[in-house]
């Protein structure tokens, strides 16, 4: 029986979770497994952004986009492939079927854990009460896991543009697309559109894509994306959008006065926490200026019985982070835990084409933090691409503490970067040194082996 169960009996539930996305479902299931009586409310779709309008459909689109290139490259290996044709409605239908399957998996997981699932919007009333489908429900603890939503800047004509939410459901694949932003979603969707044959332009107000990461990554990625056909306009932004005189086309006027005609403008300009209209502020929960629930290291808000995890706290917007946060909350409230979460060394991948994988410190951050570092960097064409003639290049980079030899950062742009970096994330968590990297015998011939064969520091 979990600690505090007696006091909890006066409430309808021990835990009420608002939002059944990655963080909410994980916390609810885990809390139920620890003996808590749990209910979760979901107003939109089970599995949240990741399953329905994020990681999963995006990765399926990314696979789809790669096939076009793979079919073209197969010629170098002797395959004579008849002119390939792509059918967008087939991709959408198959993607929707897979998402429906995953929605069902989430429902089963919650039911199997004994979590009561309520179909509807829940709003906070006070420290121990929510309202859902016209009913007031009490709970010892309330967990806010309502995620985030794309932000589209209020430029004139923005209503003609879409965000990633709509990109997953376009009735037709546009012939031309203009993607705005320089982060994860912009790089991923520009690559997806381009790979599917859409004439794609990326408009970014800054000078380097993925500016949060090691500087080499964004610079190198931009070059490779351009080689594959994406037009990138740096230091550029849309001033207004209007309908073109003919058909469904749009005209985007940029800050320098130039006008780009396109069939689709997609904003990938960040996401905002989903707290509007939830009644949290009225319940006494402190919110940040952008609406994020302010929480401490244990994910407790300013109201002691109300917790929050995932995108709604606006810390690290990644599904595996939301899962880990949800576990910490469940364990601390209903298990024997007194944990917080270590946010250091979280590996991440951007599923652009080529993909990006990164873990640990960038060169700049490492110089700031430890001073003396060695940098190992290599670029090369993979064996596979010697026959495709694509000219595609791979970038691999290690950042090493010169005094301790500890590897501080592992960064890559190239095929399967996410798959490759995952293993190196374990090595970094174990405190691996450059000596241990060098003592590891590579697997030949692979791209990944370069990470254990870089001998000459370049900086
Ligand atoms: P990001 O924060 O990654 O990037 C937002 C981009 O939009 C930045 O380049 C920013 O420019 C630009 N921007 C912001 N406001 C404006 C504006 N008013 N006009 C023009 N440009 C603007 O956000 P995303 O939307 O790409 O993704 C949100 C989050 O979702 C990511 O940070 C990531 O955590 C998560 N995600 C993870 C994925 C994965 O794991 N593969 C995939 C997709 C999303 P500037 O740099 O100048 O501020």
Instruction: Kindly report, residue by residue over 433-445, the tens digit of the pLDDT.
Output: 999 999 999 999 9
Give the model confidence (pLDDT) of 229-252 as tens digits.
Answer: 999 999 999 999 999 987 889 999
Residue 139: CB within 6 Å of ligand 1? no
Domain ranges of the chain: 5-150+272-334, 158-269, 354-452
CB 344 within 8 A of CB 366: no
pLDDT at 163: 98
| Ligand 1 centroid from CA 129, angstroms | 35
pLDDT mean over 53-74: 97
* pLDDT above 90 for 2: no
Helix (H, G, I), strand (E, B) or coil at 428: helix
| Ligand 1 centroid from CA 191, angstroms | 15
What's the pLDDT band for 191 if we cut at 50, 70, 90?
very high
Residue 384: CB within 6 Å of ligand 1? no
What's the pLDDT band for 3 if we cut at 50, 70, 90?
low
| Ligand 1 centroid from CA 62, angstroms | 18
Find the catalytic residue in 66, 73, 235, 444. 444
Give the model confidence (pLDDT) of 75-105 as tens digits.
Answer: 999 999 888 899 999 999 999 999 999 999 9
Give the model confidence (pLDDT) of 333-363 as tens digits.
Answer: 999 889 999 999 999 999 999 999 999 999 9
Q: Which residues of 91-128 are buried (b: 16+ CB within 10 A; e: fewer)?
A: bbeebeeebeebbeebbebbeeeebbbbeebbbbbbbb
Substitution candidate for ligand 1 out of 269, 322, 355, 418 with most atoms within 8 A of CB: 269
* pLDDT above 60 for 71: yes
Q: If you take atom 2 of ligand 1, which residue's CA is the nearest one?
A: 270
Q: If you take atom 30 of ligand 1, which residue's CA is the nearest one?
A: 317
pLDDT mean over 144-154: 98
| Ligand 1 centroid from CA 380, angstroms | 29
pLDDT at 8: 66
* pLDDT above 70 for 407: yes
Tell me, yes or no, if the two domains 5-150+272-334 and 158-269 fold the same way.
Answer: yes
Tokens (6 digits) for 106: 């989430």
CATH entry, 158-269, from 3.40.50.300, 3.30.230.70, 3.90.420.10, 3.50.50.60:
3.50.50.60
Residue 73: CB within 6 Å of ligand 1? no
What's the pLDDT band for 276 if we cut at 50, 70, 90?
very high
Instruction: Report the CATH number of the 5-150+272-334 domain.
Output: 3.50.50.60
Task: For the chain, give the percent of residues with pLDDT over 70.
Answer: 98
- Cα–Cα distances (Å) from 343 to 22, 121, 418, 430, in that order, read 18, 31, 18, 15
Across the chain, what does the average pLDDT equal?
Answer: 96
CA atoms within 13 A of residue 312's CA, in its CB half-sphere: 32
140 given a catalytic annotation: no
Helix (H, G, I), strand (E, B) or coil at 192: helix
pLDDT mean over 163-182: 98
pLDDT at 421: 98
Residue 291: CB within 6 Å of ligand 1? no
CATH entry, 354-452, from 3.40.50.920, 3.30.390.30, 3.30.565.10, 1.10.1660.10:
3.30.390.30
């Amino acid at each position: 029986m979990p600690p505090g169960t007696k006091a909890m009996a006066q409430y309808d539930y021990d835990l009420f979770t608002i939002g059944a996305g990655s963080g909410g479902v994980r916390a609810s299931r885990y809390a139920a497994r620890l003996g808590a009586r749990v209910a979760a409310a979901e107003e939109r779709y089970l599995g949240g952004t990741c399953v329905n309008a994020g990681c999963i459909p995006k990765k399926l689109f990314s696979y789809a986009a790669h096939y076009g290139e793979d079919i073209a490259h197969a010629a170098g290996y002797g395959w004579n492939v008849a002119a390939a044709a792509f059918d967008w409605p087939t991709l959408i239908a198959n993607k929707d079927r897979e998402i429906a399957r995953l929605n069902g998996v989430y429902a089963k997981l919650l039911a199997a854990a004994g979590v009561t699932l309520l179909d509807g919007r829940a709003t906070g009333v006070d420290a121990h009460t929510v309202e859902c489908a016209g009913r007031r429900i009490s709970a010892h603890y309330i967990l806010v896991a309502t995620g985030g939503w794309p932000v589209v800047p209020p430029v004139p004509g923005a209503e003609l543009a879409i965000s990633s939410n709509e990109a997953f459901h376009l009735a037709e694949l546009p012939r031309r697309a203009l993607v705005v932003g320089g982060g994860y979603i912009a790089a991923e969707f520009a690559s997806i559109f381009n790979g599917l044959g859409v004439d794609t332009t990326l408009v970014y107000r800054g000078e380097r894509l993925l500016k949060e990461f090691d500087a080499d990554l964004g610079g190198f990625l931009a070059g490779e994306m351009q080689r594959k056909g994406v037009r990138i306009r740096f230091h550029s932004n849309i001033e207004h959008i209007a309908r073109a005189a003919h058909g469904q086309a749009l005209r985007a006027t940029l800050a320098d006065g130039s006008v780009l005609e396109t069939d689709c403008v997609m904003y990938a300009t960040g996401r905002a926490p989903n707290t509007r209209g939830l009644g949290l502020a009225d319940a006494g929960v402190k919110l940040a200026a952008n609406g994020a629930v302010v929480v401490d290291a244990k994910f407790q808000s300013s109201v002691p019985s109300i917790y929050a995890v995932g995108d709604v706290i606006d810390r690290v917007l990644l599904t595996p982070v939301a899962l880990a946060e949800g576990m910490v909350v469940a364990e601390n409230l209903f298990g024997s835990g007194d944990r917080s979460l270590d946010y250091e060394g979280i590996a991440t991948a951007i599923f652009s084409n080529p993909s990006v994988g990164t873990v640990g410190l960038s060169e700049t951050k490492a110089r700031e933090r430890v001073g003396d570092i060695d940098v190992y960097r290599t670029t090369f064409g993979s064996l596979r691409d010697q026959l495709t003639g694509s000219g595609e290049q791979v970038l691999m980079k290690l950042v090493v503490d010169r005094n301790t030899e500890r590897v501080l950062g592992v960064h890559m742009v190239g095929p399967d970067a996410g798959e490759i970096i995952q293993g190196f994330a374990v090595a970094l968590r174990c405190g691996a040194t450059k000596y241990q990297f060098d003592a590891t015998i590579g697997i030949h011939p692979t791209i990944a082996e370069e990470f254990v064969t870089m001998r000459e520091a370049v900086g």
